Chains A and B, each alone.
Chain A
């Protein structure tokens, strides 16, 4: 009896709490620019999501601490853990979008990007997907709100194929190339480009999907063992990468012939495999830290304001997060240059800023990012900005750069982007943006 009434009370209290807590959505304060942060600190992909999230938050803190905000506009931010799950990501997006008059979202998940691509235009929130997301969204005439800055997966796959072609002396006709990929929108992204290149270059493409999260890959590597491909491209994320490397060791596949995309070639991926992963190659689109890393250490970590452990600062994924946050901040700064310095920008204004972003080497040096990222410049036609990366190779203890910066080949990617963007526009009954809309 008593227990029952207690339970009823709890139930009623819980209902009351919902209405009290959920309906109090904070309104954006004057003179504060809100940045939603969508990291994943839990779940199967947390080891890779955490450094990225820490860096993202660190950079926002740094702008407040070092520069006093963006032209005096203080940055506020809030995190919402997506756990790399699409439905949680959608809930987070709905929750955080109400906190300001539009803001930049970066979900760090291709699956969540697909869901948000459908929602962002209606809410007028720009979407940065730096190094991931839909490849065809680099076509800004169709994807007005998406910004796959610093390289899409098609650019990544193209760069790897250029490197392999170069290594083989220019001719890879008849070679067997296997793509071991995370069976999700993320892993499937490079396939159209690789198929296109296979047609042009005449190599034999083998597709080997790995069911997410990719802990169990015995069957896949058995296929590798049977087919003995000349090269293996690794398109994995999180635990799948180290598992793949361990399986490669077990099957005796040479690590020197494995090429990972930029999400498959960071410290957490090879740390556990250590010496055995020696020779494994991966793309990297960021550089080693310069002034900005020193600033983070001096301004935040020295004052116990840093977000994660200080050892993590300057690692591959950390730099990725830093650059991602910097792109968002620079988008806002660019928007301010048109719509009023020292004002809080709306989603539409930030979108303009991102579309007209020009960061040359001088500007990057001024921001302390000169060595961390490459110059980029966006336009209505090109939402990607820059499409270059280089290779780094694991020497058993650390990553060593092993190639120059390589540009993705526009002659192959451009027609593909146009074809896929047109298909998307056809499905969604969108018309390409006019020239006038582009210049507005």
Chain B
């Protein structure tokens, strides 16, 4: 057990024992040795919680399961979540969008040094400049000075693709979307995707057919990326969840790059600032 794990377990134990939360959402190791989400309801159970570089799914998506009371007359449940800096931004986003109240979430923020998938550091992590979450109730600090990789230019790969011809980009995305099986794992793993009925499934209006074919897959991914414009926190849970290893984060990061350039905005800095598509400036003139 590392120092960070001890701190996380101790924080969870206190929150549960005091009755401040009914559930702590963190990470655990499965019997096979893989890290997966953990839901701890009892103070005596906190030893399940772990923290290491394999913890790479955004747990904030589960907050949508605790938004409404289980029965009428019962208050909304309070939960604690273990968050990395990227995840913490999602909390601010959801507070702004009135999905959760700040007082119903205890944020166990972790000083993150990057997470890995199959032994390789995730692209999102190698580009991340943030180590401390923007919001937390408890801060779990790393006891070791991290051996941080040299921070790369955040949008280098996006910039490179921007230099290709449209035909080259179309070929790239056609090749990538071909593997897509429209399983919606990306959507379900994303804390920003919580529509009761997704446009991809709506019958009326009829946006797109149920076919698992290229035009529908293209539509779904472009549409989802656009619906996350100015809302995506670059946690890359979508890419981590994708069973076909489609580089979904490129779509979201392209928009994040434009949002930052056009509006000087980064998602989730605080819970009171409106995302750029929820507001406007009367004097701006943008190339449309």
Specify whether A and B are partners: no
